[in-house]
Amino acid sequence: MKSFIQISNLLVKRNKRDVLKIDSLTIKRGEILAVVGPNGAGKSTFLLALANLIQLTHGEIIFEGKNQNEWNELEYRRKIAFVFQDPLLIDMSVEENIALGLKFRGEKNFEPQIIKWSKAM
């Protein structure tokens, strides 16, 4: 199976301190990945990096065979979703947040997608 996401030599620093370091990670399409660890282990930083919401200090993330930095931001954002642990704008359920995002994209019949993504979580 072809890799969906491939990470190599990833480093994220904050205040001159390494907060995330991943030498190599490959995620295949359809594979389920659990990101677990204690507070401060870099879980949120990892997810923010995957969503291209923070700048990498070093390394690369290849998504669908293309370097993350080569993607058009809008096109990339349409393919990658990030549901924050705490609501940023509206205090709603996960399902309602997914529906809101799909509604903003102009999707009409999004009920089946809400069910699909809710079950995936």
pLDDT, tens digit (0-9, with 9 covering 90-100), for 23-50: 999 999 988 888 999 998 999 999 999 9
Count of domains observed in the chain: 2
60 with 94, same domain?
no
Strands 58-63 and 66-67: antiparallel
Looking at per-residue confidence, does 86 or 13 come out higher?
Answer: 13
Nearest to 22 by CA among 42, 36, 2, 4: 42
Q: Same structural domain for residues 64 and 116?
A: no
Residues 74 and 21 in one domain: yes
With cut-offs at 50, 70 and 90, classify the pLDDT of residue 9.
very high
103 and 93 together in one domain:
yes
Is 44 found in the same domain as 2? yes
Whether residues 104 and 55 share a domain: the answer is: no
Q: Pick the closest to residue 22 from 73, 77, 62, 69 (CA basis).
A: 62
* Whether residue 78 sits in one domain with residue 90: no
> At 3, which CATH number?
3.40.50.300
Residues 47 and 61 in one domain: yes
Residues 4 and 33 in one domain: yes
**53 and 110 fall within a common domain:** no
Name the residue range of residue 28's domain: 1-82
15 — alpha (psi -120 to 50), left (phi > 0) or beta? left
91 and 32, same structural domain?
no
pTM above 0.85, yes or no: no
